[in-house]
Structures are given as structure tokens and as C-alpha cells.
Amino acid sequence: MVDHTVRDTAHSMIDSEASVTPAVLQAMSRTPNARLREITAAFVRHMHDFAREVQLTEAEFEFGIDFLNRIGQASDDAHNEAVLFSDAIGFSTLVCLLNNGSTGATETAAALLGPFWRMNAPPTENGGTILRSDTPGPALFTFARITDPQGRPLPEVEVDVWQASPVGLYENQDDLQDDMNLRGKFTTDPDGRFWFRSVKPAGYPVPTHGPVGELLRAQERHPFRPAHLHVLGFKAGYKTLITQVFVDDDPYLDSDVVFGVTEHLVGRFREGEGEPPVPGLTGPWYRLDYDFTMQPGEAKLPVPPIK
């Protein structure tokens, strides 16, 4: 019996390097899913052109395969090396801006998710704190508002907030912090507002123990991210808000290792003057006021990069 499936996907025998790409594209041309066909064909063309452009050697090819394998091996429930690699080559930010626009109000509400978002942050009342363990550092009081593109307040938005501690570590990286420290889930009030207490975040180096760290060292790049808060907003009928707000006096604003800073994402962290929002507070404190915009669209949560 003739195997018609093999015949239907047959291609010419390879007679030179120039015939490889057309043969692969022909073999994939019957892919029923049009979007999968478009993406895989473009991927093959660009990868083959890349190999030709740099005249990739066999040793370099083997090194690249090993590098990709080690990215997977370096990932676990608490660390996602693949997301970190995508961030470090600017790919995450590129995809974010391609899908959220590069100018205007959309840009103020879009930034990469990063590798440290977790599901099921503790529900927290507005005005509450996301400090779950003793966390030294200047107090930070954030007052935020979410509106639609016409400036109308959006109530009942579920808002995840997370940040690194002043020592530059997220709680899943740090045995000295309690589980879910500096993470919380809020719900906007009828005026679209949510507010909370934390500590002023600090900049930090991305993890460099894996292949991404090797890449940064080979390129003589520093591993630092400027200090920031993460915010994720979710409401039916609106595109999920994923953003970061950067501290305006951080020295790495113009050299973020993951290329995540745009001008509209820099917040004004004002050192407190007069009476603090919490009576009896001693020591320095800061205030951040920031408005976010959510666009109409599909409400869909991303896949958490860690557990």
C-alpha cells in the first residue's frame, strides 16, 4: 500500500545548502492552522538566514544548542531562566510594545511581566500593607487610580502588586522573608482607586547563576534593574494591565538590563514632608501617586512564570 501522507509532504532531495530552506518550507506548507503555518515558516526563514549571515560553524551550533538546553535546566518552580533570557535580549519588551503601542496612554500602562509574578497573592484591603515580615527600609505609601481611555474610573479591578525588598530580592529568592512578603491583591473602589503601604523598592541584579549570567559577562554588561513596583490589573471586558512603575532617582533608569524602562513608566517618588499617612510613623517615608489606563479588550491572565 502506498503511503499517501509521505507522498503529500514529499520534497526534493537536498543537493546543496541553498535547497535546504525551500525544502523545509515546502514540508511545512500544508500545516492546517494558518497562524502556525505563518509563524513557523517565518521562523525557519529567519533562522536559516541567520546561519548564512554569520556563517555559523558546527562548534557554534553545538554551543547554541547546549545554551538552550541549559536555559531549561536552570529553570524550576522558583526561577524561570527562559523568561530571563527573553528579557535580557529585549525580546519581552519588544513583544510588549508591539502589542500595546509605543506612544501615548497605552505606553503608560504596559511593561513586561518579568520572571517573578506569582498567582494567589494575599487579598489585602485598600490602605493595608503588603509587608508580611519585618522588612527594613523607608516606608512607601502608594495612591493609585485606574481609568478607561476616556478617563472614567474603573471599579472592581483586581490588582496584583509585587516588588523586591530594599535588599533587592523577591521573597521567593530570600529565606529571610516570609512567603508572599511584598505581594498583595487589591480591588479598586468606585472611584477606581487602590492604595497601600510597603517600603521603597531598591534596584537589584537579575540572577546570574545560569546561562543568562554567562551571556551578560561575555558581553561586559551589568546585570542591574532599576527599582520598580509591578502592577497587574484584571477586569472583565478590559485588556489585562501589566506594568511597572520605576523609581525616578535610580541610577540604572537609562541602562536597564532588560530594556524595560520607558519615559512614561517613571513615577515620582516624593520624600514625605509633614504628617505621614500613618500616625506615629518615624523615619523617612515616600509617597507615590500614579494613574493607570486600561484598554477595552480581552481579560486574560498570563501564565505565571513561577509558582
Question: Whose CA is closest to 277, among 262, 265, 289, 266?
Answer: 289
Query: Could you tell me the pTM of the whole model?
Result: 0.85
Separation between Cα atoms, residue 249 and residue 245, nearest integer Å:
12
Tell me which of 221 and 102 has the higher pLDDT.
Answer: 221
Which cell is 172 given?
Answer: 521567593
pLDDT at site 101: 62
CA distances from 217 to 91, 210, 212 (A): 19, 11, 9
Q: 290 and 108 in contact (C-beta within 8 Å)?
A: no
Output the pLDDT for position 113.
Answer: 82
Is the Cα torsion angle 181, 183, 189, 193 positive or negative in sign? Answer: positive
pLDDT digits (tens, 9 = 90+) for 221-269: 999 999 999 999 999 999 999 999 999 999 999 999 999 898 889 999 9
CA-based nearest residue to 232, from 85, 93, 111 = 111
Q: Which CATH superfamily is domain 81-293 in?
A: Aromatic compound dioxygenase (2.60.130.10)
Position with higher pLDDT, 144 vs 273: 144
Query: For the chain, how long is the longest CA-to-CA vector?
Result: 88
Confidence of residue 27 (pLDDT cuts 50, 70, 90): very high
Distance of CA 125 to the CA centre of its chain: 25
pLDDT of residue 8: 52
- Output the pLDDT for position 110: 55
Tens digits of residue pLDDT in 6-19: 445 566 688 899 99
Model pLDDT, residue 264: 86
Whether 200 contacts 261, CB under 8 Å: no
pLDDT band at 3 (very low <50, low <70, confident <90, very high): very low
End-to-end CA distance of the chain: 51
Mean pLDDT of the chain: 90
For the ranges 129-138, 194-203, 233-242, 297-306, the lowest mean pLDDT is seen at: 297-306
Q: With a cut of 80, say whether residue 105 has pLDDT above it.
A: no
Share of the chain above pLDDT 90, in %: 73
**156 or 136: which carries more pLDDT confidence?**
156
- Full strand arrangement of the beta sheet holding 285-293: 193-199, 139-147, 285-293, 269-271
**In whole angstroms, what is the distance from residue 18 CA to residue 34 CA?**
26
Strand partners, 231: 161, 243
pLDDT at 1 over 60: no
Q: What is the pLDDT of residue 282?
A: 83
Q: Where are the domains of the chain?
A: 15-56, 81-293
Query: What does the buried/exposed string (b/e) look like for 103-129 if buried means 16 or more CB atoms within 10 Å of the residue's CB?
Result: eebbbbbbbbbbbbbbeebeebeeeeb
State residue 111's pLDDT score: 67
Which band of pLDDT confidence, cut at 50, 70 and 90, is reported for residue 102? low
Residues 6+ apart with CB under 8 A from 199: 131, 135, 136, 137, 138, 139, 140, 165, 166, 182
> Rounded CA gap, 81 and 68, in Å?
10
Q: Which helix (H) or strand (E) segment is 142 a member of?
A: strand 139-147
Alpha carbons 285 and 290: distance in angstroms, whole number: 17
Could you tell me the pLDDT band of residue 5, with boundaries at 50, 70 and 90? Answer: very low
pLDDT, mean of residues 74-90:
92
